[in-house]
Amino acid sequence: MEEQPIKHYSSGVFSGEGEENSGLHRRGSRHSSRVELGSQKLYRPEFDSASRGEATSEKLWELMAEYIDTEKSTIQKAIVAHVEYTLARTRFNFDKNSCFKAAALSIRDRLIESWNDTQQLFTAEDKKRVYYMSIEFLIGRSMQNALINLGLEDKYREALEEVGYKLEELYDEEVDPGLGNGGLGRLASCFLDSLATLDYPAWGYGIRYDYGIFRQMIVKGYQVEMPDYWLAQMNPWEIERSDVTYDIYFGGRVEKKWENGIEKSNWIPNEIVKAIAYDNPIPGYDTFNTINLRLWKSMPTNEFDFQSFNQGDYFKAIETRQKAEYITSVLYPNDSTPSGKELRLRQQYFFCCATIQDIIRRFLKKPREWEELPDKVAIQLNDTHPAISIPELLRVLVDKYGLEWQRAWNICYKVFSYTNHTVMPEALEKWSVELFERLLPRHLEIIYLINFHFMNQVGQRYANDPKKFDIMGYMSLIEESRPKAVRMANLCIVSSHAVNGVAALHSNLLKTQLFARFHEYFPKKFQNKTNGVTPRRWIKCSNKGLSDIYTKYLKSNNWLSDLYETKNLMSYIDNEEFQEEFRQAKLQNKERLAKWVEKECGIKIPTDAMFDIMVKRIHEYKRQNLFALYMIYRYFNLKAMTVDDRAKQVKRVFMVGGKAAPGYIAAKKIIKLINSIGDVVNNDPDIGDLMKVVFLPNYCVSSAQIIIPAADLTEQISTAGTEASGTSNMKFVMNGAIIMGTMDGANVEIVEDIGIQNAFIFGARVHEVDRLRVQSGAPAGSRLQRIFDAIKSGTFGNPKELSSLVESLEQHDIYLVKSDFYSYIEKQEEADAVYKNQDRWLKMSITGALNMGRFSSDRTIHEYAEDIWDLESVEIPKPSLSAISRVKSQPNINPTQEIVEQHIIEGHEDWQCKIDDIPAEDLEASLMKDEESEKIPKYLYTS
**Rounded to whole angstroms, how far apart are CA atoms 35 and 46?**
21
Going by the DSSP 8-state scheme, the letter that residue 375 receives in this structure is H
Reduced to 3 states (helix: H, G, I; strand: E, B; else coil), residue 424 is: coil
Closest to 224 in 3D by CA, of 663, 801, 662, 664: 662
C-alpha to C-alpha distance for 391 and 402, rounded to whole angstroms: 15
Angle between helices 782-793 and 817-836 (to 10 degrees): 100
CA distances from 297 to 134, 204, 238, 274, 510 (A): 15, 15, 12, 8, 35
Give the C-alpha distances (Å, rounded to integers) separating 903 from 66, 229, 230, 232, 303.
42, 12, 14, 9, 22
User: Measured between alpha carbons, how far is 310 from 358 in angstroms, rounded to an integer?
Assistant: 37
Residue ranges of alpha helices (H) inside 418-529 are: 433-439, 441-461, 468-475, 488-495, 504-509, 516-521
281: closest CA among 269, 292, 268? Answer: 292
C-alpha pair distances (Å), 669 with each of 574, 806, 910: 46, 11, 27
Contact 835, 716 (CB under 8 A): no
Q: Please state, in angstroms and rounded to a whole number, the distance separating the CA atoms of residues 853 and 866.
A: 19
- 101: phi then psi, degrees, rounded to nearest 5: -60, -45
Which helix (H) or strand (E) segment is 599 a member of? helix 576-601
Calculate the alpha carbon distances from 323 to 203, 273, 316, 477 in Å: 29, 9, 11, 31
- Of 21, 532, 44, 560, the C-alpha closest to 284 is 560
151 Cβ partners below 8 Å, 6+ apart? 30, 31, 34, 35, 286
88 and 79 in contact (C-beta within 8 Å)?
no
Do the beta carbons of residue 51 and residue 890 sit within 8 Å?
Answer: no
For residues 286 and 290, give the distance between their C-alpha atoms in angstroms, rounded to a whole number: 11
CB-facing half-sphere around the CA of 262: CA atoms within 13 A: 9
The residues, any chain, with a CB within 8 Å of residue 775's CB and separated by 6 or more, are 819
CA distance 629 to 712: 20
Q: Tell which residue, 24, 26, 29, has the closest CA to residue 11.
A: 24
Q: Which are the contacts of 63, defined by CB distance < 8 A and separation ≥ 6?
A: none
Phi, then psi, of 222 in degrees rounded to 5: -95, 145
CB atoms within 10 A of CB 36: 11
User: Cβ(273)–Cβ(327) under 8 Å?
Assistant: yes
Backbone angles phi and psi of 157, in degrees to 5 = -60, -45
Q: What is the set of active-site residues?
A: 421, 616-617, 622, 727, 731
206 touches 189 (CB < 8 A):
no
Residue 895: cis peptide before it, omega within 30 degrees of 0: no
CA atoms within 13 A on the CB side of 172: 7
Residue 291 to residue 309: CA distance in whole angstroms: 44
Report whether 218 contacts 675 (CB < 8 A).
yes
CB atoms within 10 A of CB 224: 18
Q: Which residues share a beta bridge with 533? A: 856
Strand arrangement of the beta sheet that strand 430-432 belongs to? 430-432, 485-487, 478-479
